[in-house]
Amino acid sequence: MTGRQLQQPVFEVDGWAGNTVDDSGVEWWISTEQGWASTPPVRLTLTDRPERHGAFDAPSYRGPRVITLEGTAIAPDRASKEAAKDRLAAVLADGSTLLPLVVTEPHRTRRALVRLTAETKIADRKAGAFEFSLTMTAPDPLRYSYGLNASTCPLPSSSGGLAFPLSFPLDFGTGSSGGRLQLENKGTAPTWPAWRIGGPCVHPVITNTTTGEELAFELTLQDGEFLVIDTDARSVLLQGTASRRSALLPGSDWFPLRPGTTPVLFRARDYDPVARLTAEWRDAWL
């Protein structure tokens, strides 16, 4: 945390922190917060019914989260005040990249990736004080846990296995040991994990055993090779750089981790004790 805490929540972004006293003795008080505690806006795509009341139904989606912080800065002297104004003007000045906004609340610490989306407003009030307004937008409207969760498992050492092409219902063999993960999303909204499959591994499959959703790949990973699957970006990258999206088998599902626990099964055509599946995710809230 930057500086000494004055009250919660504390808002930290790009080296600046609201509701704290910074190293120069400037107090940054947040008096009004909009967009963080409330839910993001709803985006509707309804089409009016011609010559009839109402509209044709359609799914709704969440828009980006716009966060505005307004408050007062109180500096110990005029020089500190002017320097504080310069520091605030530089927050999120680089518009080419998203940066984490970290919010420390009484019950948890969460974050969102944001960029500046309006001018930073600064207005003098008296010798050592000025009012300010800082507006930023998170393209992804979810609020995520500050800590990154991770879990790893090997392939199951079992008899049987999957044969390709896949046929349903799937036969995963018997007497398995390993190959299973219990992934807990402690938030209230589905979150999209990133998977990493480390070779050697032939035709890997990742299955949500509750819903039957799965990601199946028709490829072979050699020893030392790895596949990174970003379910949010819908990307499949060999060694984290070369696209292998074409290896995703038809019928595969980009499944999220819903609130609660998701049981996951990791399988492949052949057993190899070195192969590993790693999941990384953050708990998510609206």
Mean of per-residue pLDDT scores for the chain: 92
SS3 85: helix
DSSP 249: P
Q: Residue 173: what pLDDT?
A: 45
Q: Residue 160: what pLDDT?
A: 43
Give the fold, CATH level 3, of 4-141: Elongation Factor Tu (Ef-tu); domain 3 (2.40.30)
User: Which of 3-12, 144-153, 175-184 is least confident?
Assistant: 175-184
Peptide bond into 64 cis (omega under 30): no
How far is Cα 263 from Cα 12, in angstroms, rounded to an integer? Answer: 35
Considering the entire predicted model, what is its pTM?
0.87
CB contact set of 239 (below 8 Å; sequence gap of 6+):
225, 226
Q: Residue 240: what pLDDT?
A: 87
Which one, of 220, 13, 44, 187, lies nearest residue 117 by Cα? 13
CATH 3.40.50.2000 correct for 149-285 = no
How far is Cα 268 from Cα 121, in angstroms, rounded to an integer? Answer: 57
Mean pLDDT, range 116-140, rounded to an integer: 95
Residue 251 — pLDDT band, cuts 50, 70, 90?
very high
Residue 172 — pLDDT band, cuts 50, 70, 90?
very low
How far is Cα 66 from Cα 115, in angstroms, rounded to an integer? Answer: 10
Mean pLDDT, range 193-211, rounded to an integer: 97
Q: Residue 175: what pLDDT?
A: 37
Q: Give the residue extent of every domain in the chain.
A: 4-141, 149-285
The distance in angstroms from the start CA to the end CA of the chain is: 24
